[in-house]
Chain A
Amino acid sequence: MKNTLYILILFVAIIACDPCDDCDAISFEPTVSFVFINQDSIAKIDDSLAVIVMIDSSFNANVDSLNILRDSLALVEEAIAGGSDLSAEKMNLEQWILDRQADSAFYAPLDEDGDSITLVLNTTKSTINSGRLYVEQIDILGANSILSFEDSAEVWSVPLAFDGTFSEYEVTINGITETIELAYDNFQEIDDQRNVLIRAENIRVVNEPYDSLINCEENCLDGETTFTFYF
């Protein structure tokens, strides 16, 4: 009987323990991610790629024409040797061949460099599409805080306010500053470590200078939401 009671007392004492591993303030704030895609540069690269394709196409067409003209010249020379009077046609063909050869001389070096230029342009396009660029600074208006950066990156994490429903950011890229405005609703939650956190939901863009995409359809949450801006 006594042993049973001692065991129960010990059992109750053990489960009554309430340890505290870390009772300090937590460092946490709601954030969203910004990705900037330089759409103008991509358009220029696409234009350059189109020119390369056109050069390649023109070069190939010129080579085909040259081959046809040479075949025709061979037939004309054969006919002249057979007694036909086609000297005028022969002169024309010789002139056209000279013209096409001049065109080939123009297109050939461009076409030879076309593959390497295309590779460089496509690599550059991939880099731009990944969003990797250098944002000089993000000024959080109203908070008198400026986030300054030293390196380029693909994703830029920006904080949302603890006690607000609206944040305004001035983003400076390549010396050009534009303003992005976000609206959201704050809420509190307690995580598994018993930390009280401020979170944000229903995050949306209310004003932007760029076209944008968001990676969620409804009730966008902090820490999960990414806005992709095309400028």
Chain B
Amino acid sequence: MVRRHLLFTFSLALLAGTCFAQSNAADSIVVKRTVIPSLYIDYGKLLTIPSNIETKYEGGIELLFLEKFPLIIEAGQATLTPEGAYSNGTYESSGYYFRVGTGFMNQFTAKNKIGITARYARAIFKEEGRIFIESPSETQDTFVQNIDREDVNATWYEMVLYTDQKLSDMFSIGLNLRFRVLVEYDEFSPVDVYSIPGYGRSFDGTIPAANLFLKVNF
């Protein structure tokens, strides 16, 4: 796990360094607009719709100031039913999450941008499930426990490496590589929160992730 995260962190740092190294060369290309608004959707998450494990929707708004400094607001909804949550039961976590952040972005090639940003994220979600325990001696009824939690909160930070490719003046596609660090969540004992929409499993203090997006630039 540690090696995995180190690899991911190293990749982020490597690409971020490349981004900053290119910044001076790109400074003199065009006249800068003060603000460039754009909308984007995570089309990779739309692929989860047919899945019976999870369904996710995510999109965002970006205001790019001086073509270098983005202000980003993201929102998403997820319904997660990981089969490995509880081996002897059912489980579903569903809710909304949002992220806000800013950072630095720069033209990498004529069609590509690259950037690095930091995000604060929060999820508000609910958990539902049922636990089943049978009596091997058959001397008592099967134990059934309901999990029913509303308004569960979680917060985390993300370091995001951004890259995109311009398809036209209006559209571009790209990738966000994220490194998430969980700050806190509403804990329960002993059957704790398992999946946090927008983040991942609660017992993973740090998680790498990736998003594919289609962006509409205005």
The answer, yes or no, to whether A84 is at the interface (CB within 8 Å) is no
Known contacts A19-B84, A22-B87, A23-B83; is A29 also within 8 Å of B145 by CB? no
- Residues 45-85 of chain B, each 1 if its beta carbon lies under 8 Å from chain A, else 0: 00000000100000000000000000000000000001111
Task: Give the residue among A8, A9, A143 with the most B Cβ atoms within 10 A.
Answer: A8
A12: Cβ under 8 A from any B Cβ: yes
**CB-defined contacts of B101 to chain A, threshold 8 Å:** none
A25 and B88: CB pair below 8 A?
yes
Whether B133 pairs with A194 at a CB distance below 8 angstroms is: no
Report if A135 contacts B (CB, 8 A). Answer: no
Q: Which residue of A lies closest to B80 (CB)?
A: A18
| In the complex, B24 has a CB within 8 A of chain A | no
**In the complex, how many angstroms separate the beta carbon of B133 from the nearest chain A beta carbon?**
6
Point out the residue from A12, A16, A18, A195 that lies within 8 Å of B87, measured CB to CB.
Answer: A195
Q: Is the CB–CB distance between A9 and B210 below 8 Å?
A: yes
Query: Which residues of chain A from 196 to 212 have any CB-CB distance to chain B below 8 Å in the complex?
Result: 196-198
Q: Taking the nearest CB of chain A, how far is it from the CB of B128, in angstroms? A: 15
Instruction: Indicate if A174 sits at the interface (CB-CB under 8 A).
Output: no
User: Per-residue 0/1 for A16-49: is the Cβ within 8 Å of any B Cβ (1 yes, 0 no)?
Assistant: 1011111111111101000000000000000000
Which residues of the other chain, B, contact A23 by a CB distance below 8 angstroms? 83, 87-90
Q: How many residues of B contact A (CB 8 A)?
A: 36
Contacts of B8 in A (CB 8 A): 8, 11
Decide yes or no whether A163 CB sits under 8 A from chain B. yes
Q: Mark B95-118, 1 if CB is under 8 A from A, else 0.
A: 000000000000000000000000
In the bound complex, do residue A145 and residue B83 qualify as a contact, i.e. CB atoms below 8 Å apart?
Answer: no
> Which of B31-39, B119-127, B135-143 forms contacts with chain A?
B135-143
Question: Would you call B87 and A28 a contact (CB within 8 A)?
Answer: no
Docked CA distance A89–B145 (Å):
96
* Contact partners of B90 in chain A: CB under 8 A: 23
Q: Give chain A residues whose Cβ lies under 8 Å from the Cβ of B155.
A: none
Which residues from 138 to 155 on chain B have a C-beta closer than 8 Å to any C-beta of chain A? 138-140, 142-143, 145
Q: Which of A93-101, A184-192, A216-224 contacts B (4 or more CB under 8 A)?
A: A184-192
Residues of B within 8 A of A4 (CB): 11, 15
A187 to B189, CA, bound (A): 10
Give CA–CA (A31, B137) in the complex, Å: 10
A188 to B133, CA, bound (A): 11
Is there a chain A Cβ closer than 8 Å to B181's Cβ? no
A145 & B139 in contact (Cβ 8 Å cutoff) = yes
Q: Known A190-B190, A197-B133, A198-B143; judge A24-B88 contact (CB<8 A).
A: yes
B85 to chain A, nearest CB (A): 7
**Are the C-beta atoms of B140 and A159 separated by less than 8 Å?**
yes
Other A-B pairs, 15, CB within 8 Å; known A9-B175, A18-B82: A5-B163, A11-B7, A11-B8, A12-B210, A18-B83, A21-B87, A23-B83, A23-B87, A25-B132, A25-B133, A147-B137, A147-B139, A161-B140, A194-B84, A196-B86
Between A and B, 30 residue pairs with Cβ closer than 8 Å are: A9-B175, A11-B8, A12-B209, A20-B84, A20-B87, A21-B87, A27-B134, A27-B135, A28-B133, A28-B136, A29-B135, A29-B136, A140-B139, A143-B139, A159-B136, A159-B137, A159-B139, A161-B140, A162-B135, A188-B191, A190-B190, A194-B84, A194-B87, A195-B87, A195-B88, A196-B88, A196-B131, A196-B145, A196-B190, A196-B191
